[in-house]
Amino acid sequence: MTARGVRTNRVRVVTVPHSDYQRWLLTVTSGNVEAGEDIRYLPRHLVTDVPSDDWWLLDNERVVFNLVDEHGVQADGIAITTDPRIVEYCCGAKQRLWDMATPYADYIDSAYARQ
């Protein structure tokens, strides 16, 4: 995608100490970064009012939600919305979290990454 000029960026809001899954993600994220994705990390305890859902913002026009059950287990499918209020909320949250987050290259060398 980046070869076509598509920008991809992501903020991972993580609980510290990291879960096994988050530690694994830290070991494989360098491949995504090398492919052109800009990934930043933000320890959850450093920010309040974080949207609880896992979501993707596409072209600042659509929000795609990852569906999970009441236990947080992946459910089948996704939900997509173009509702202007939801899109606006997610655009604001993305910018706020992005500005607070640490680039992967810096985060991987931080004390947080070793927890």
Q: What is the model's pTM?
A: 0.85
Tokens, residue 6: 């598509």
Matching residue, tokens 């992005």:
98
Per-residue pLDDT tens digits for 55-108: 999 999 999 999 988 877 888 889 999 999 999 999 999 999 999 999 999 999
Q: How far apart are CA 72 and CA 68, in angstroms?
A: 5
Residue type, 106: D
Residue type, 94: K
